[in-house]
Amino acid sequence: MLNEIKINLQNIQQFVSKSELEALKPAAIDALNKLHDKSGKGNDFLGWVNLPESISDADLQDIEQTAYHLSSISEVVVVIGIGGSYLGSKAVIDALSNSFDSLLNNRKNPLVVFAGHQLSEDYLHDLLEMMKGRSVSCIIISKSGTTTEPAVAFRIVKNYIEEVYGKADAKKRIVAITDQSKGALKQMSTKEGYKTFVIPDDVGGRFSVLTPVGLLPIAVAGFDIRKLVKGAVDMGKDLMPNVPYEGNICMQYAVARNALYRKGKKVEIMVNYNPKLHFLTEWWKQLYGESEGKEGKGIFPAGVDFTTDLHSMGQYIQDGERMLFETVISVKNANSKLTIPSDEENLDQLNFMAGKRIGEVNKMAELGTMLAHVDGGVPNIHIEFPEINEYYLGALIYFFEKACGVSGYILDVNPFDQPGVEAYKKNMFALLGKPGYEQQGADLKKRL
Ligand code: PA5
């Protein structure tokens, strides 16, 4: 892995001095040590640190066999979950799939669709319509087993599957991924006899993509989870505390973003130049937003897809309020080759590009944009990886997780809790009339 994923900090240099970066180095080293010796905040949620290498062959086989079983009986597999229980698998599946996946004929693997990540009545209605006449299975994922969005979606999908296949056969089409012992989903799975996978107690939702939470849906979609895990394992070796700062990219990234934050750059925009990476950004937004945004602190993680958003958010980034920095996730090589054709008339005057690969044009857009934004006052962190495949996605996932832990400790928050998520839930339950919330419900209604 060494040096295959590169971080370039050249374009933050005019915004933060060498000494400002140096000053944060000891905090990064301390933070990385704390992740390993488990002496920092939230240390009961550090199971993800050594997770990749602890996944056994038997674990992978169990996941692969279950994926094979679901694939063999389904055209569509509905993955139900929200937050960390869906974003990781969605990110990997989107990155690796054909851009027009849902329209492909002669599929080898079922179409994986997601539900339970919002409460839209129309979405669930459309899901039911889509399932009609197709063979369907479902993976329900909830660590707590009590989250409203997936629980609501699961009621709908479970009822549908039981109606179509009968209760006995429905069991073969439903897999639950949840806590070892707690929560309604665990209870229900035991009662109904669903095949169940466990989310370890010490792995929080947004750090769970390398558990069955992410691995089962990714395997169902037909991708190689062994390569994904191997990428994470190899990256892990490069991010150990004994790897010096100069070669340890998780510390470098964490230091760079914290140094920029201290200079008033409060918003980090993750940039990609390939729409397949859109959900990698969504996953990263959750990872960093939920881990760092607390106690009145934290970088606000945002995302753009370029060059698409250069024609919308590009204006703000170039010329708007200067509280931004960008982190570009740059793919060195495209997976397919396509060149720009020559045109006899040349009315669009693009013949000077004829014969060039589209990827080269995209690369020049990337480099040109980077310089323009730096000139406009937007620091640029550049992270490059060789190509989009399982191995490098596994490596990137682990890199961002590790850097997130280090960064959260530098910020001096507990990166592994999410107390702020509860506020909306309480209000929602109160407004819906949940028993025990009567007074709160009455108070809230007065304000509406
Ligand atoms: O990172 C987290 O812990 C959260 O985003 C959870 O993943 C999300 O709230 C879903 O929770 P659960 O899996 O318990 O349904």
CA 219 to chain centre: 16
Contact of 12 with 260, CB cutoff 8 Å: yes
237 is catalytic: no
Q: Is the pTM of this model over 0.75?
A: yes
pLDDT along the chain (448 residues), means of 10: 90 97 98 98 97 96 98 97 97 97 90 98 98 97 92 97 96 96 91 96 96 98 98 97 97 98 98 98 98 98 98 97 98 95 95 96 97 98 98 98 98 95 90 92 93
Q: What number of residues does the chain have? A: 448
278 is catalytic: no
311 is catalytic: yes
What is the Å distance from ligand 1's center to 387 Cα?
A: 30
What is the Å distance from ligand 1's center to 302 Cα?
A: 20
Q: How many CB atoms lie within 10 A of CB 109?
A: 18
- Within 259-341, strands assigned E span 267-272, 300-305, 324-331
Q: What is the 8-class DSSP label of residue 110?
A: P
Which pLDDT does position 182 carry in this prediction? Answer: 86
Which pLDDT does position 2 carry in this prediction? Answer: 67
Q: pLDDT tens, 226-252? A: 999 999 999 999 999 999 999 999 999
Ligand 1 pocket, mutate which of 144, 178, 188, 202 (most atoms under 8 A from CB): 144
* Segment 124-128 long-range contacts (CB within 8 Å, at least 24 positions apart): 124/152, 124/153, 124/156, 127/78, 127/153, 127/156, 127/157, 128/156, 128/160
What is the Å distance from ligand 1's center to 145 Cα?
A: 9
Which pLDDT does position 107 carry in this prediction? Answer: 87
What is the Å distance from ligand 1's center to 85 Cα?
A: 6
What is the Å distance from ligand 1's center to 436 Cα?
A: 23
Q: How far apart are CA 412 and CA 428, in angstroms?
A: 31
Does residue 208's CB lie within 6 angstroms of at least one atom of ligand 1?
no
Q: How far apart are CA 175 and CA 197, in angstroms?
A: 8
Which pLDDT does position 183 carry in this prediction? Answer: 85
Does residue 116's CB lie within 6 angstroms of at least one atom of ligand 1?
no
Per annotation, catalytic residue among 18, 108, 191, 311: 311
Contact of 280 with 329, CB cutoff 8 Å: yes
CA 435 to chain centre: 35
Ligand 1 pocket, mutate which of 143, 152, 284, 285 (most atoms under 8 A from CB): 143
Does residue 214's CB lie within 6 angstroms of at least one atom of ligand 1?
no
Which pLDDT does position 422 carry in this prediction? Answer: 86
